[in-house]
C-alpha cells in the first residue's frame, strides 16, 4: 500500500519528446500556443495531480496568510483577535512549511521565522505552549499544533542560536505532553484531565514530528496512545469520540486516527486497516463533498490517510478534493472559510492538503 515514489510523468515526457523530436524551435514556437507550452512546463516538474490551477490557488492562499499575519507573528480564528492564536499559528506555519519554506529560505521565510518566534515566546515554565488566554481554557490542541510546527521548523533551522532555543522549547513541550497523558493513553483539552480523540491525534503527530527531527520522545508514550485508539474502535471500524463516551464512530476522528496510527508506525495493524476502510466508504465514489460541521478538519486528516495508504486511495480522493477546494476558494482574496472557525484556519488546512504531493514535511509521509 505504499505510495508510489515516482513524482513525475516520465512517460508523458518521453512521448512528448518523441512527438516533437526534430521540430525546429522557431516552428514549435509558432505552432504550439503559449498556454499549452506553459501547461507542458508545469507538467514536466510538478508532482502527480498538481496542475496550474492548484499552483494558482496555493499561491493565493499562502499570500493571504502572509499578509494577514499579525505583527507578533500570530494568526487567530477571527483574523486579529485572541481566539486560539497558538493553534492557528501552528497550522498556518505548517502550511507555509508545506510549500518548502523554512525560517531562513523561501518566499515566505520571514513569515515562518515570525511564527517560530511567536510560538517560542508562548512556551511556559511547565512546557505548555499556550497564549495569554490559555486558548480559551483548552490549550492542548494549540500545544500539539505548535509543537508539531516547531519540530518541523527545527529540522530546517540553520541559525545556531535559534536552533538551540527551539530545541529547548521542544524538549520541554514533549515532556509536558508525556506527563499530560491519561492512564488510558489519551489526552484531552488540558494536561492530565482525561482523554478524547481529537486532542490525542494532535499530540501523537507532534511527538512523531519531534522524533523525525532527531529529538527524544518516550517510546512508551506512543505505545500507550496506540492502545488508546484501539480501545476506541467501534464495531463499524471507526473511532468514537472518547473511551468514556462509547457512542458511534465519528468520521473526522476516525480519519485522524488513521493518520495517527500511520504516524506511530502502525501501517498494517488491523485497527488501522479497519479504520481506513471505514473512512474510505465516505470517499470512495470520488465525491469529496461532505455535510457537517467539521469538513475541513476531516479532510485535513483523511487526505493524509489516503496519501500514506497509496495510489489506490489517493488517485481517487485527491483530484476530486483538489477541484472542490479550488472551487470553494475566495478568488478575490485567496482565503478559505473553514468550518466556521475562520479564514486563517480554513486557508491553512486547504494549503496543507493541496501541497501534500510536494513531500516537504516528513510527518505527512509514510
Chain segment 66-80, per-residue pLDDT in tens: 999 999 999 988 655
Q: Is the pLDDT of residue 214 over 60?
A: yes
- Grid cell of 68 as nine digits: 494577514
Same domain, 342 and 208: yes
Angle (deg, nearest 10), helices 197-212 and 251-263: 20
Residue 249 placed within a domain? yes
The reported pLDDT for the residue numbered 23 is: 43
CB 107 within 8 A of CB 56: no
Same domain, 21 and 149: no
Same domain, 198 and 71: yes
- Grid cell of 57 as nine digits: 490557488
Same domain, 251 and 326: yes
Same domain, 12 and 93: no
Q: Please tell me whether residue 239 adopts helix, strand or coil conformation.
A: strand
The CATH number covering residue 182 comes to 1.50.10.20
Residue 202: half-sphere exposure toward Cβ, Cα within 13 Å: 25
What is the pTM for the complete model shown? 0.87
- More reliable by pLDDT, 196 or 19: 196
Over residues 167-193, mean pLDDT: 95
Residue 3 placed within a domain? no
Domain hosting 226: range is 46-364
The reported pLDDT for the residue numbered 61 is: 98
What number of helices (H) and strands (E) belong to the chain? Answer: 16, 0
Same domain, 194 and 325: yes
Residue 2 placed within a domain? no
Same domain, 246 and 338: yes
Residue 218 placed within a domain? yes
Residue 16 placed within a domain? yes
Range with lowest mean pLDDT among 43-57, 83-97, 202-216: 43-57
pLDDT in tens, 218-229: 989 999 999 999
pLDDT in tens, 131-173: 888 888 889 999 999 999 999 999 999 999 999 999 999 999 9
Same domain, 25 and 95: no
Same domain, 31 and 56: no
pLDDT class for 340, splitting at 50, 70, 90? confident
Residue 241 placed within a domain? yes
Range with lowest mean pLDDT among 78-82, 243-247, 358-362: 78-82
Give the 3-state secondary structure percentages of the chain, helix then strand then coil, rounded to 5.
Answer: 60, 5, 40
Domain count along the chain: 2
pLDDT in tens, 104-135: 999 999 999 999 999 999 999 999 999 888 88
Distances (CA, A) of 341 to 83, 123, 224, 296: 10, 24, 31, 10
Residue 335 placed within a domain? yes
Residue 1 placed within a domain? no
Burial category of 204 from C-beta neighbours within 10 Å (exposed 0-12, middle 13-18, buried 19 and up): buried
In this structure, the number of other CB atoms found within 10 A of the CB of residue 11 comes to: 9
CA 287-321-315 angle, to 5 degrees, is 85
- Grid cell of 327 as nine digits: 472551487
CB 204 within 8 A of CB 245: no
pLDDT class for 287, splitting at 50, 70, 90? low
- More reliable by pLDDT, 200 or 4: 200
Same domain, 212 and 274: yes
Q: Is the pLDDT of residue 205 over 90?
A: yes
The reported pLDDT for the residue numbered 1 is: 41
pLDDT in tens, 10-48: 333 333 433 344 444 444 444 556 655 555 555 557 899
Same domain, 20 and 128: no
How high is the mean pLDDT of the chain?
87
Same domain, 222 and 302: yes
* 210, β-bridge pairs: none
Amino acid at each position: 500500500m505504499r505510495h508510489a515514489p515516482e513524482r513525475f510523468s516520465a512517460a508523458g515526457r518521453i512521448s512528448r519528446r518523441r512527438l516533437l523530436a526534430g521540430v525546429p524551435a522557431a516552428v514549435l514556437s509558432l505552432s504550439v500556443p503559449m498556454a499549452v507550452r506553459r501547461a507542458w512546463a508545469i507538467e514536466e516538474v510538478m508532482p502527480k495531480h498538481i496542475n496550474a490551477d492548484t499552483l494558482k490557488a496555493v499561491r493565493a492562499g499562502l499570500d493571504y496568510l502572509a499578509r494577514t499575519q499579525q505583527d507578533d507573528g500570530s494568526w487567530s480564528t477571527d483574523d486579529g483577535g485572541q481566539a486560539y492564536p497558538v493553534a492557528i499559528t501552528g497550522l498556518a506555519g505548517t502550511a507555509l512549511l508545506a510549500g518548502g519554506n523554512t525560517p531562513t529560505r523561501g518566499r515566505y521565510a520571514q513569515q515562518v521565522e515570525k511564527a517560530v518566534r511567536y510560538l517560542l515566546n508562548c512556551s511556559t515554565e511547565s512546557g505548555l505552549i499556550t497564549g495569554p488566554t490559555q486558548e480559551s481554557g483548552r490549550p492542548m490542541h494549540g500545544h500539539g499544533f505548535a509543537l508539531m510546527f516547531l519540530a518541523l521548523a527545527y529540522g530546517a533551522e540553520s541559525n545556531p542560536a535559534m536552533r538551540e532555543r527551539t530545541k529547548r522549547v521542544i524538549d520541554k513541550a514533549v515532556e509536558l505532553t508525556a506527563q499530560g497523558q491519561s492512564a488510558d493513553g489519551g489526552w484531552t483539552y488540558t494536561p492530565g484531565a482525561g482523554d478524547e480523540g481529537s486532542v490525542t491525534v494532535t499530540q501523537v503527530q507532534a511527538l512523531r514530528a519531534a522524533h523525525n527531527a532527531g529529538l527524544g520522545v518516550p517510546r512508551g508514550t506512543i505505545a500507550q496512545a496506540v492502545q488508546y485508539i484501539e480501545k476506541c474502535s467501534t464495531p463499524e471500524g471507526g473511532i468514537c469520540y472518547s473511551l468514556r463516551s462509547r457512542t458511534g464512530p465519528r468520521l473526522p476522528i476516525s480519519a485522524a486516527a488513521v493518520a495517527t496510527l500511520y504516524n506511530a508506525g502502525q501501517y498494517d495493524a488491523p485497527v488501522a486497516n479497519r479504520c481506513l476502510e471505514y473512512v474510505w466508504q465516505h470517499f470512495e465514489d470520488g465525491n469529496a463533498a461532505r455535510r457537517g460541521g467539521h469538513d475541513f478538519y476531516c479532510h485535513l486528516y483523511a487526505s493524509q490517510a489516503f496519501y500514506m495508504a497509496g495510489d489506490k486511495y489517493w488517485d481517487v480522493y485527491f483530484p476530486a478534493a483538489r477541484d472542490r477546494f479550488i472551487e470553494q476558494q475566495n478568488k478575490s482574496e485567496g482565503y478559505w472559510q473553514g468550518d466556521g472557525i475562520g479564514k486563517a484556519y480554513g486557508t491553512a488546512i486547504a494549503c496543507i492538503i493541496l501541497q501534500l504531493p510536494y513531500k516537504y514535511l516528513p510527518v505527512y509521509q509514510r
